Amino acid sequence: MYFKQFLDERCGCASYLIASRQSHEAAIIDPSIAIEEYETLLAQRGFHLRYAIDTHIHADHVSGARRLVAKHGGDLCLHEAAQVAYPFRPLHDGEELALGQLRLRVLHTPGHRPELVSILVVNPERSPEPSMVLTGDSLLVGDVGRPDFGGGDAAAQYESLTRLLRLPDWVAVFPGHFEGPCGKGMCGRPSTTIGFERLFNPLARLERIPFIDHLSEAVPARPLNISAIEATNRGLVDRPWAMLASNPAVDEISLDELESRDPDAILLDVREPVEYASGHVPGAVNLPQADLADRLDELPRDHPVFLICQGGYRSLRAAQFLKQMGFAQVLSVAGGTAAWAEAGKPLGRGEVDDRATRVIETEWAHAGGSTP
């Protein structure tokens, strides 16, 4: 058996290559759109691709599964419940995929998403029992995957966690994330064991109702470009560039500089509409980071764009993405709306139309600018 974990520092995602050293067949699980490193390994080791498996339709990174299968053959696998616009091999709960002498056993573990599967790895020559489980975004190290990315279900997540924690203690757990927005309390380690999580994962100790209540708590921000990434992974649009794949330097501006900003500048609040409505810097227009890639055309490229969020993290990442997409004049507001409010400066309030164009045009007119 051959096994390798790939950790993508840009999005906190983990992907995996499993192969039989006997048959030289390989399976790649949750591949990133940057498929070159898998290809290099396949070539170096003389492996050929048998399966590309997405444990679920990802919302935080663009999958490379279709690209891999198109170039190298093999089956593109998703759970039978997956709603996508391209053909795939449907996986069923309890099914076993042969990979040389190895067996990849499918375990349907919905919750984060309805079609999420975990993959149990069995090497019958060593043991009839599984030695490891790839859990996607069901069981994470110290956490479980959030159910609020669309289509998720906290009660189903409870059942799936319970099912996974019935596995033997020794089973090594390799999740789909080691950091990032998919779990609120991940510990950062890239793997764990069932036994450790059963004892020390704080969610494993919760009864059903407190578990559901915990996962249903105030919805945090949706990740950067989630709309475009998910639609791309469903085959509905083709925006592989929607991932933040670079780390460009972004300058920050202070609150004083923000107050005396060039009237030509657009101030873009990338928080969720409910956050924006509860208090925003006057003149800021709302375009949630989740929808940024889908709505790039609404932003003028020939004006400075200042980005603001709650504390400065989302605006920084959104600004990096805009730079990646060729926007030249992009700045992030240090400290965000929270610092603005703490400084006692006035806040605008109220609902926001979810179409930024209309808001931008309105606010633009108020600010005395010409329509972008």
What is the contact surface with Fe ion in residues (CB under 5 A)? 137
Give 107's Cβ-side CA count (13 Å radius).
26
Best CA proximity match to 264, nearest among 297, 292, 301, 295: 301
Residue listed under structure tokens 């790939």:
6
Yes or no: say if 32 and 62 are a contact pair by the CB < 8 Å rule.
yes
Distance in Å, CB of 119 to Fe ion, minimum:
15
Could you report how far apart the first and last alpha carbons of the chain are, in Å? 58
Give the whole-angstrom CA distance, residue 255 versus residue 257. Answer: 5
Catalytic residue among 13, 77, 182, 309: 309
Distance in Å, CB of 355 to Fe ion, minimum:
27
Where would I find the H helices in 165-312? 194-200, 208-215, 226-233, 255-259, 273-277
Residue closer to Fe ion, measured from CB, 61 or 67: 61
Residue closer to Fe ion, measured from CB, 137 or 197: 137
- Please tell me the total number of residues recorded for the chain in this structure: 372
Yes or no: say if 111 and 144 are a contact pair by the CB < 8 Å rule.
yes
Give the whole-angstrom CA distance, residue 328 versus residue 346. Answer: 30
Active site residue 77: no
Residue closer to Fe ion, measured from CB, 54 or 363: 54
Give the whole-angstrom CA distance, residue 217 versus residue 203. Answer: 14
Residue closer to Fe ion, measured from CB, 137 or 298: 137
Grouping H, G, I as helix, E, B as strand and the rest as coil, residue 156 is helix
Residue closer to Fe ion, measured from CB, 30 or 197: 30
Distance in Å, CB of 58 to Fe ion, minimum:
5
**Position with the least CB separation from Fe ion:** 137
Distance in Å, CB of 137 to Fe ion, minimum:
4
Distance in Å, CB of 260 to Fe ion, minimum:
42
Give the whole-angstrom CA distance, residue 251 versus residue 312. Answer: 12
State the catalytic residues. Answer: 309
